Copies of this chain bind each other. A is one copy, B any other.
Amino acid sequence: MLSVDSDRRRRPTLDTVAAAVGVSRATVSNAYNRPDQLSSSLRERILETARSLGYAGPDPVARSLATRSSAAVGFMLPQGLSGAFSDPALSIVLDGLASTVDGHDHVLVLLPGDATGGPRPSIVTRAQADVMVAYSLPDSAPALDAVAARGLPLVVIDQPVLPGSARVEVQDFLGASLAASFLLDQGHSRFGILTFALRPDGVSGPVSADRRSAVPFRVSRDRLGGYLDTLAKAGVEPDNVPVWEARGSDRELGRLGARWLLTRTPRPSALLCASDQLAFGCLQAARDLGLSVPSDVSVVGFDDVPEAAYSDPPLTTVRQPLAEKGRRAGELALKLLAGGRPPRPTRLDVSLVQRASTAPRT
């Protein structure tokens, strides 16, 4: 304890090095940040002395204060990390984002959410980041107000536009409607829908018409809406379509929901899922019940994660450009950081990928 403290106290600073070399502090700073401002021989001497003194370079925090930039991008999640990362779609988006900002020497600061559907405002207020990226937070999450209060630039992924923020998202409604149309074309008429959280309250279960209104998660809203609207236009009453809400997007929760859906009477001949993970759960549930996919029941997912091509059977799903989404968000963040204005939001394309988990109704 004592020794750690004294370690800390003894840590050399720019001044220590400057004094040791016999130059001004500014010169030492230049040795690190502006090599062209001093002779290379002096620079060498400074770096050498710094090394021998155990000086590892300018303190990042002090540097940030002086430059008013922390070289960090905050990433706000709607939930805790385990829930979050069980969704491979997030990992891919995050990777796209990370590789973009990493290439510009920025780091990613992770702000996990809690039951309110986003990070606590207090943690947002104290996070050292100079731009925030919000991933699929519910409308009007307190975290968003905290970002606004700090005046930080914001880019939102999969979320309605907020004044002054940049946005990237995909055409979820269209994607869902593509999937529903496809199944209708295949002759299906009895459907079941498996969605992930409509609200950040951790509830799983059948969805009442009441709960379907004013859904704060845009993605859930659009995918569910896309499914139901398309079915309705084809004459399938929304009230006759059982909907199960899973509180998260993982396989096991999907299995649970699918078990319920597949035991309704009459049994749906096609299941529409809000994510591939949920769809994988459906495949499992069908197997559990001795049903065969696609001859007894067709299943479609959403996202087209890599695994969708290898499931048994391979999954028919709606493809969205996940990595691209992350990359775009990263570029937008860097652009805002450089003082750019938020451009018009672009909605990335979606398309239907037909594989073996769907078949015409026989």
Contacts and interface: CB of A to CB of B under 8 A. Distances in A.
Nearest to A90: B85
B62 A65 contact: yes
Interface residues of A, number: 64
A252 B306 contact: yes
A92 to B, nearest CB: 6
A122 B5 CA distance: 26
A108 interface: yes
A65 B61 contact: yes
Interface in A88-134: 88, 90-92, 94-96, 98-99, 102, 105, 107-112, 122-123, 125-128
Contacts of A94: 81, 85
B339 A5 contact: yes
B1 A340 contact: yes
B4 A339 contact: yes
Given A64-B61, A91-B81, A71 B105 contact: no
A127 B56 CA distance: 12
Interface stretch (A145-153, A193-201, A222-230): A145-153
A99 B125 contact: no
A310 B56 contact: no
B64 A151 contact: no
Contacts of A90: 85
Given A88-B86, A107-B111, A110-B107, A151 B54 contact: yes
B95 A122 contact: no
Contact of A307 (B11, B60, B126, B251): B251
Interface of A: 1, 4-5, 7-8, 11, 54, 56-57, 60-65, 68, 70-72, 80-82, 85-86, 88, 90-92, 94-96, 98-99, 102, 105, 107-112, 122-123, 125-128, 146, 149-151, 251-252, 255, 284, 287, 306-307, 310, 312, 323, 339-341
12 contacts: A5-B339, A8-B151, A11-B151, A56-B149, A61-B65, A64-B128, A70-B128, A72-B128, A85-B85, A86-B91, A105-B123, A109-B109
